Amino acid sequence: METKKNIDVSHIWHQPSDRWIYIERKDNGLIGLNYMQGDERDLFLERFCEPDRNLSTFFNEINNKKSHPILAKLKKKCGEIEFIDEVIWIYFKSQNYS
């Protein structure tokens, strides 16, 4: 089994949503994500700088251009960080509604 290597890691402060976003890009095109609400950077760096498996799987499925061409158009229109932020909101809401 071939190991997927990281090719880039970013820590993004997204002020409009008051959150830190962790983005880990793999050499196979997949993206690992995690996030933390609030602006406590030290806490974010300590506890949230690794991919959340469920969020990352959810994002990569939505980010699949072949499966979701309308969402691919939205990503192109609003930009990658805004698109990631929107997917995080959708994921959060899906996990927190009964």
pLDDT in tens, 21-55: 999 999 988 999 999 999 999 999 999 999 999 99
Alpha-carbon span 68 to 45, nearest angstrom: 32
Model pLDDT, residue 35:
98
**Model-level pTM greater than 0.95?**
no
Q: What is the dihedral of CA 62, 67, 70, 71, to 10 degrees?
A: 10
Q: Is the pLDDT of residue 66 over 80?
A: no
User: Does residue 40 form part of some domain?
Assistant: yes
Q: Is residue 2 part of a domain?
A: no
- Domain of 89 in residue numbering reads as 7-96
* Rounded Cα distance, 36 and 73, in Å: 27
Please state the domain count of the chain: 1
Q: Is 8 helix (H, G, I), strand (E, B) or coil?
A: strand
